[in-house]
Amino acid sequence: MVPDQNLKERLSEGFSGDILTDVMLRDHTSLRIGGKADYLFIPSDPVSLLRLIDALSGEGIGYVLIGGGTNILVTDDGLEDVVINMKAFQSLERVGDRGADSGDSGDDVRVFAQAGLPLQRLVSFCREGGLSGIEGLVGIPGTVGGAVFGNAGSYGYEIMDVVQKVTALRGGSIVVLDREDINPTYRSGGFSPDTVILGVHMLLKRDDKGTLQDRMNEFLQMKKKTQPLGERSAGCIFKNPPAESAARLIDEAGYKGMRIGDIEISTLHANFFINKGQGSAGDFLALMDAVIEGIGRMFGIILEPEIGVIGKR
């Protein structure tokens, strides 16, 4: 698919937001890797998003959602699908401190965050407000929507532990999913692939600000010592196998520092792949395949990717 003015006009009918054409997706991902997308839409409101998805369905055109561009690898040949960026959806508010009359305890606080909000803005909001429940997520990049869809977690915390309701697009309608209707698992929020998360209501707990800040600072310092936070990466590449650590397996296999082209396995954390220069998706995938094959051969364990690979292959 190439940009076409008539198609652009049909897709933009009733749409509010920005429309970009001939976009290099390496400029929109944390890895700084990725080929071209013919269209990138940035809807400004849920109705525009819903109309765009309906229009794409009518044209028989697929779409891919991105937020912060983390935890994904875009292939070198780019995408035929339309890319939708959710970055305009950044509302964040405290929606109620509710007590026994609602079934909540006196320490319960409800917070609403839209899907495009950077996750670390939510973490900072909770730190400054003395709200506990997601402090283990400090230092994790990306957006709230991506974190919820993938059930991001660290240090024994997972974001779905505090999610109470999810507002989403599904089947051409805006729906509200209650927590009991969602079945999250490790690194999965439990949503169907066609679910587009718009926002989430979370139930947090009041906590002493000093204690909370100390806990977050401790987690962040641990991450800085053990993860290449300042490098161009997509976060952890592989899910941890049951009762095992992907990083430990890769380290024990002697793969730290292994490199294909400009893609290198971090010497600080073996489950991070770093783009050291002009890295390509082809080299990234080749390194992933080499690690999967080697770990399978040495340990009889098949590593499963945690990152999403999107685009033409």
The DSSP bridge pattern shows strands 108-114 and 92-96 to be antiparallel
pLDDT digits (tens, 9 = 90+) for 170-227: 988 999 999 999 999 999 999 999 999 999 999 999 999 999 999 999 999 999 999 9
pLDDT digits (tens, 9 = 90+) for 268-282: 999 999 999 999 999
For the chain, the average pLDDT equals 94
Choosing from 135, 158, 264, 306, the catalytic residue is 306
The DSSP bridge pattern shows strands 196-206 and 131-132 to be antiparallel
- Residue of 203, 189, 184 whose CA lies nearest to 132: 203
Choosing from 32, 121, 187, 206, the catalytic residue is 187
Residue with tokens 């590593």: 303
pLDDT confidence band for 105 (50 / 70 / 90): low
- Judged by DSSP in three states, 189 sits in coil
Percent of the chain predicted with pLDDT > 70: 96
Runs of H (alpha helix) within 66-113? none
Residue with tokens 């991001």: 152
CATH 3.90.78.10 domain residues, the chain: 231-310
Q: Are 43 and 88 in contact (CB under 8 A)?
A: yes
Choosing from 110, 215, 236, 264, the catalytic residue is 236
pLDDT of residue 3: 67
Domain 92-225 has CATH 3.30.465.10: yes
Q: Where are the beta strands (DSSP E) in the chain?
A: 17-24, 36-43, 63-66, 72-74, 82-85, 92-96, 108-114, 131-132, 153-154, 157-158, 163-170, 173-178, 196-206, 259-260, 263-265, 273-275, 308-310
Domain 231-310 has CATH 3.90.78.10: yes
Pick the CATH number of 5-85 from 3.40.50.300, 3.40.50.620, 3.40.50.1100, 3.30.43.10: 3.30.43.10
Q: pLDDT at residue 285 above 80? A: yes
Alpha carbon distance 309, 38 (integer Å): 18
80 is catalytic: no
CATH 3.30.43.10 domain residues, the chain: 5-85
Q: How far apart are the first and last CA of the chain?
A: 16
Average pLDDT over residues 54-62: 94
Whether the model pTM is above 0.95: no
126 is catalytic: no
CATH 3.30.465.10 domain residues, the chain: 92-225
Alpha carbon distance 98, 92 (integer Å): 18
pLDDT of residue 97: 59
pLDDT of residue 106: 72
Q: pLDDT at residue 66 above 60? A: yes
pLDDT of residue 231: 95
Residue with tokens 């991450």: 223
187 is catalytic: yes
Average pLDDT over residues 289-302: 98
